A and B are shown apart, each in its own frame.
Chain A
């Protein structure tokens, strides 16, 4: 087998908000068709790590390369799935129009979307199993449906790397499993980095786990065990262990 290509390379990265060090000396490599779970307690810098990979914020020091280039240059190869709770649920926008936002970078700058953009959006909605919802108002959907819409929006640009931020927050267990099954299918062609504060399902789907708590505490290649988790979380270990036993 040929050696896998590195998709994301992060080396000795520090990041601070208003003088508070949020990430310290992070070194992490994500390889092609990895399914990496990034876990850690709330406020541990997981989302910050995603924003650095996206180039939305810049580290104080260290090096970040995505597909061998700067994050900003590689953005068109990245599909990003933010937390849907941050979006205005009362906004009058259809599911189709939300998905099409993922084509803004490829569509002509002025005027309407092209037919090819609409076709790509329809394909992405079929892949995320929300084609029947395409004319519904985004804000009227359930949490799980919204998550699938954002997934379709990330897929519509045909990304090679998917970044997900807490995709199963505010979703019940059965829907959560559906979403992970969908991701598993996507993982056959796409590299995935998934951030979660909850280890619940993650360990059965991902092939690697990175624990972040300001520092990158561990980065095992094998399945995660109770001992490893305990080493990662210096804080509320009991609660998290409890969740792992589910």
Chain B
């Protein structure tokens, strides 16, 4: 702990890591809430894994992989969103296919990139300690964009997530609203990939929101609590992993998973306690 604080004070890589963790937590709590209540964990997983394709292509062509990730995440969101609306019955098969093919494309391009071969592991499992300073600005801008759009579309997102049919009767463009929501989830996925990598992104997106859900009565409360929890998980993950030299991403996810488990058990016990008193 003391060593962590010492490093935090003196080393910019640790300062960046903490800042990126906190920035990602804001988007994570807000969009993770939608993922959990709308039950689109699988769709979000499809978007996350397809992103590797874009990162691989960008890397091969000499661009920043994050920019490739942004573009491919948005394309994946639109394609997968269209598939889930249009071919609802075969949704899981098609998304599963896109998921795997996206990853395969990424691996092929990375394999064929000349020169020093990139560490594929850091894309898959994240390496928050290696993130560059200018990523902080990108993540800050994405945060601002996500929050602005959620504030503007809050009531429409709520309507479409809770009761799609009634929202349509009210003249809400359900398809466009849903696709916008998926695009914002895609941008959040890109942010979280910086923290925990592609494979673990779904856990970080859903666990804080799923934990928060036990204690709230509204979507807004759930977003705020999920963001706070996410910030706690990422920061404590960095602290815990530093001394024994553990991978930060995996440590963050284990902490988040334990917290969710604990919250679930506590919820079960309090419900039993209350029903026992009646």
Interface of A toward B, CB cutoff 8 Å: 54, 56, 75-76, 78, 80, 82, 87-88, 90-94, 97-98, 100-105, 107, 109-113, 135-137, 153, 157
Assembly CA distance A100 to B153 (angstroms): 14
B158 within 8 A of A: yes
* Inter-subunit contact B219/A92 (CB<8 Å): yes
Which residues of B have CB within 8 Å of A90? 213
Which residues of B have CB within 8 Å of A54? 169
Interface of B toward A, CB cutoff 8 Å: 37, 151-156, 158-159, 161-163, 165-172, 213, 216-219, 221-222
Which residues of A have CB within 8 Å of B159? 101, 104
Assembly CA distance A157 to B159 (angstroms): 15
Assembly CA distance A98 to B222 (angstroms): 16
* Inter-subunit contact A110/B158 (CB<8 Å): no
* Inter-subunit contact B162/A91 (CB<8 Å): yes
* Inter-subunit contact A104/B156 (CB<8 Å): yes
| Chain A min CB distance to B264 (Å) | 13
Nearest 7 A-B pairs (CB), nearest first? A105-B170, A104-B170, A110-B152, A105-B171, A101-B159, A137-B217, A104-B159
Assembly CA distance A135 to B221 (angstroms): 13
* Inter-subunit contact A101/B170 (CB<8 Å): yes
* Inter-subunit contact B162/A101 (CB<8 Å): yes
Which residues of B have CB within 8 Å of A111? 151-152
* Inter-subunit contact A104/B171 (CB<8 Å): yes
| Chain B min CB distance to A145 (Å) | 15
* Inter-subunit contact B170/A102 (CB<8 Å): yes
Assembly CA distance A110 to B217 (angstroms): 23
* Inter-subunit contact A112/B216 (CB<8 Å): no
A-B contact pairs, 8 of them (CB 8 A): A82-B166, A92-B222, A105-B169, A105-B170, A105-B172, A111-B152, A113-B155, A153-B166
Q: Which of B159, B165, B166, B218 has the most CB of A within 10 A?
A: B166
Contact of A92 (CB < 8 Å), options: B166, B167, B172, B216: B216
B172 (CB) vs chain A CBs: closest residue = A104
| Chain A min CB distance to B177 (Å) | 10
A101 (CB) vs chain B CBs: closest residue = B159
| Chain B min CB distance to A199 (Å) | 27
* Inter-subunit contact B37/A104 (CB<8 Å): no
Which residues of B have CB within 8 Å of A137? 217
Which residues of A have CB within 8 Å of B155? 100, 104, 107, 112-113
Which residues of B have CB within 8 Å of A88? 37, 162
* Inter-subunit contact B165/A56 (CB<8 Å): yes
* Inter-subunit contact A104/B217 (CB<8 Å): no
Which residues of A have CB within 8 Å of B219? 92-93, 97
A98 (CB) vs chain B CBs: closest residue = B162
Which residues of B have CB within 8 Å of A100? 155
| Chain B min CB distance to A78 (Å) | 7
| Chain A min CB distance to B239 (Å) | 30
Other A-B pairs beyond A56-B168, A101-B158, A135-B217, 7, CB < 8 Å: A82-B166, A88-B162, A101-B163, A102-B166, A105-B171, A109-B156, A136-B217
* Inter-subunit contact B170/A92 (CB<8 Å): no
Assembly CA distance A192 to B171 (angstroms): 22
Contact of A75 (CB < 8 Å), options: B37, B156, B169: B169
| Chain B min CB distance to A29 (Å) | 22
Assembly CA distance A98 to B213 (angstroms): 18
* Inter-subunit contact A80/B166 (CB<8 Å): yes
Q: A111-B152, A112-B155 are in contact. Are A93 and B162 (CB under 8 A)?
A: yes
Assembly CA distance A56 to B158 (angstroms): 20
* Inter-subunit contact B171/A76 (CB<8 Å): yes
Assembly CA distance A103 to B169 (angstroms): 11
* Inter-subunit contact A82/B165 (CB<8 Å): yes
Contact of B169 (CB < 8 Å), options: A80, A87, A109, A112: A80
Q: A92-B222, A97-B158 are in contact. Are A104 and B167 (CB under 8 A)?
A: yes
Contact of A93 (CB < 8 Å), options: B151, B158, B167: B158
Contact of A87 (CB < 8 Å), options: B37, B163, B213, B218: B163
